[in-house]
Amino acid sequence: MQKEHEVAMAADSIINWSLLSLSAPGWGGVLLQGFFNSIQIAVGGYALGLLLGVGGAFGKLYGGPVTRDLLECYTTIVRAVPELVLILLLYYAGTDLLNQLLGAVGFGTVDISGLIAGIFVIGVVQGAYSTEVLRGAIKAVPAGQIEAARAYGMSPGKVLRRVTLPAMLPYAIPGLANLWLIATKDTALLAVVGFSELTLMTRQAAGATKAYLLFFCAAGALYLALTLVSNIFIGALEKHARRGFVEQR
- Intra-chain end-to-end CA distance of the chain, in Å: 62
Q: Is there binding between residue 217 and other proteins (CB under 8 A)?
A: yes
The size of the interface with other proteins (CB under 8 A), counted in residues, is 59
Q: Is there binding between residue 6 and other proteins (CB under 8 A)?
A: yes
- Minimum gap (Å) between residue 216 Cβ and other proteins: 4
Stretch that binds other proteins, among 17-25, 148-156, 199-207, 240-248 (CB under 8 A): 199-207
* C-beta atoms surrounding 119 within 10 Å: 22
Q: Is there binding between residue 130 and other proteins (CB under 8 A)?
A: yes
Q: State the greatest distance between any 2 C-alpha atoms of the chain, in Å, as a whole number.
A: 87
Closer residue to other proteins (CB): 13 or 154: 13
Residue 71 is classified by DSSP as H
- Minimum gap (Å) between residue 161 Cβ and other proteins: 24
Burial 140-169 (b: 16+ CB within 10 A, else e): ebeeeebeebeeeebeeeebbeebbbebbb
Please state, in angstroms and rounded to a whole number, the distance separating the CA atoms of residues 200 and 229: 23
What is the x/- site pattern for other proteins, positions 45-84, by CB under 8 A?
Answer: --------------------xx--xx-----xx-xxxxxx
Contact residue for other proteins among 15, 17, 36, 89 (CB under 8 A) = 89
Displacement of CA 239 from its chain's centroid (Å): 23
CA separation (Å) from 44 to 51, 245, 249? 11, 32, 38
Binding site residues, other proteins, CB under 8 A: 3, 6-7, 9-10, 13-14, 65-66, 69-70, 76-77, 79-86, 88-89, 92-93, 96, 129-130, 132-133, 136, 174-175, 178-179, 181-182, 185-189, 191-192, 199, 202-203, 206, 210, 212-213, 216-217, 219-220, 223-224, 227-228
